Structures are given as C-alpha cells and as structure tokens.
Homo-oligomer: A and B are copies of this chain.
Amino acid sequence: MNQEILLKKRPTGKPSLKDFEFADIEKPKPKDGEILLRTKFVSVDPYLRGRMRDEESYIPPFKVGEPIESGIIAEVVESNNKNFKKGEFVNGMLQWKKFQTSNGNGLNKVDNEKAPLKAYLGVLGLTGMTAYLGLKKIGKIQKGETLLVSGAAGAVGSIVGQIGKIKGCKVVGVAGTDEKIERITEKFGFDEGINYKTTKDMKKAIEKACPDGVDVYFDNVGGEMLDAALPNMNRYGRIINCGAISLYNETETQTGPRVEQYLIKNSLTMQGFIVRDYVKDFGPAQKRLAQWMEEDKLNYLETTVEGFENIPKAFLDLFEGKNKGKMIVVV
C-alpha cells in the first residue's frame, strides 16, 4: 500500500541503483493538526548527490537507512489541519514515499489552474528561482553584456539563457550534444552554442563565440569549463558558482589552474550561490517568471519519467545528461 526509498549506502564516485533501497511500509494516519499527502510529482536534482555525502553542508546530509527527500508536489488526501483541504495540492521538501503525513510546515499550496502543477517543481520552483535570483543577485546582468552559461540545456541553464535574452544580453551556452546545442539556439533563443564534447580548445571556442569577452558566467558544471571561462572574463566580471556537476562524483580532490591571479587581474568576483539563501525573494521572482511565461517569453522543457519505482533511475540519468530540461518523476 505504501512504499519508501531509503539511502542504502553512501555512493562512492558515481551513484548506482545499489545505493538505494525500497521498503514497504504502512500508510500513516494523520494525527490532529496533520494532513495525509499522496506524492504526485518528484523533482530529482544534481545537488542531491551532495547530500549523499557524509559532510556538513548548507543542508544536513541524508542518513543511511533513512528516506531521501527532494522537492515534491503532493495531493492532500486527508486533512486534520484547518489550513489544508482535501484535494488541494502542496509543494515542499518531502520524503520519497508514496504517502506521508505532515503538519503543513514548510509546504506551499500550488494552484493547478494558474500553471501546470509540474511547473512548480521547475520554472516556477527552485529551478526558476535559481536561474532568476542567481542572475539578479550575483550576476547583476546588464543590457548589452555577454552572458555565458554552462549546462545550458539543463533545467536551470535553459532558463538562465532565456532570462539573459529577455534582459538584452548576448547569450552563449555550452552543452554536451549537438542536439542540445540546436535546442538552446532554436527553441530557447541563445545566440550561440558550444558542444564541449566535440570542441578541443574550449578557451579559444569561448573567445570566438564571445568576441567582446564574458561579463557574467553562470556556472552549473565547474571543473574544466570554469578553467576555460576564467581567462575570457572581462574586467569586473561576475561568476555565479551555482553547481559543479562535473565534480560531484569525483572521489578525490580535483586540481586545476589556480584562480587567484585571474581574479586580481580583472577584479573578478566568484560567488557560491545557494538559492535557499534568498527565500525572501521567492515571491516576487515567481511572479516575474509567471508573467514571462504568460507573455510567451519563457519556454521550458521537462523530461518526465513514470512510476515511483523509477525515481532512483531518473536521478542517475541526470549524470548521463539524459534529461531535456527539468527531470520530473510522475507517480
């Protein structure tokens, strides 16, 4: 009747299905003040890899033998809480369970008449917030500047590039297949795309695609892409260190060219970006993104996978670049 997905062991290097375990559990009964939730849509995201490590971070690590959690849209199927009605939908950090109870703390109601429910996990959820607030708070992008985006065909990257175009920037995206490059330039309106897998000298390729240099680099991947971007940054350039998917599965500390002389030479800023630091800005950000969607200025792609049993597999596929835009599991 009910089922959950536990972290069986901490992955070494690239996670595999063996790191997860399914367990049959009882369907809980909501106590006074609680609601019973049925999981509808599950967001799987690269950053979850970090929580599988046993180290202090901005969110506590997952515990071995306990359920994993991520962004989830759920339906209220029973309510003993006056703030929630049966049939309403909520969005929040919830556990990978088919059914779970909650006292409602940290949950936001979502309205399936305003936008498709899944959008609240993507463009109107943390994905959209990340793109919008990263560019606004750290990138401080200005009309006429050049914006470089890595992971450009991914959930965050594709929104970053579109916001760059809305703001009047030249936008260059980097992704790993020709199909993705076509997608970002054709569907999402990027000015240019670079396939890093078929490009030998990324530094030169960026230089060619960005003849006026790079003012803002929105980095979702880290590693060698960052190395290639740094020498192309303009004076007072800003680098939004949003993700480092190229390093998440590495088991040893990775080395690369030292960055400090680039920073000093051009008064560059590199800043780590965690969207949860900006919770107070989510309201206006969501409003702005919803407006752009309505005006048809903002498109998004989703890859949906069916079935609760496929959540771990969907998560693993992120590291193979199999998703087109936001990866969502439909339960």
Contact = CB atoms under 8 A, between A and B. Distances in A.
Interface in A219-269: 219, 222-223, 226, 235, 241-244, 247, 253-269
Stoichiometry, as copies per complex, reads 2
A261 B226 CA distance: 12
Contacts of A258: 222-223, 226, 244, 247, 253-256
Given A247-B261, A258-B247, A266 B58 contact: yes
Interface in A35-91: 50, 57-58
A160 to B, nearest CB: 16
A277 B269 CA distance: 14
Contacts of A265: 50, 57-58, 272
Nearest to A276: B267
Contacts of A244: 258, 260-261, 264
A257 B260 contact: no
Contacts of A57: 265
Contact of A273 (B226, B254, B264): B264
A274 B265 CA distance: 8
Nearest to A259: B259
A279 to B, nearest CB: 13
A2 interface: no
Nearest to A277: B267
A271 interface: yes
Given A270-B269, A272-B264, A254 B253 contact: no
Nearest to A221: B260
Given A253-B258, A260-B222, A260-B247, A272 B277 contact: no
Interface in A264-307: 264-274, 277
A254 B270 CA distance: 19
Contacts of A270: 259-260, 263, 269-271
Contacts of A267: 58, 271-274, 277
A330 to B, nearest CB: 29
Contacts of A272: 260, 262-269
Most chain B Cβ neighbours within 10 Å, of A223, A242, A263, A277: A263
Contact of A274 (B257, B264, B269): B264
A63 to B, nearest CB: 19
A165 to B, nearest CB: 26
A50 B261 CA distance: 10
A49 to B, nearest CB: 11
A159 B244 CA distance: 37
A213 B24 CA distance: 43
A72 B262 CA distance: 28
B259 A257 contact: no
Contacts of A277: 267
9 contacts: A58-B235, A58-B266, A242-B264, A243-B264, A253-B257, A254-B257, A256-B256, A260-B272, A267-B272
Given A58-B265, A269-B272, 11 more contacts: A58-B267, A219-B260, A226-B260, A242-B264, A243-B264, A244-B258, A254-B257, A264-B272, A265-B272, A266-B272, A267-B277
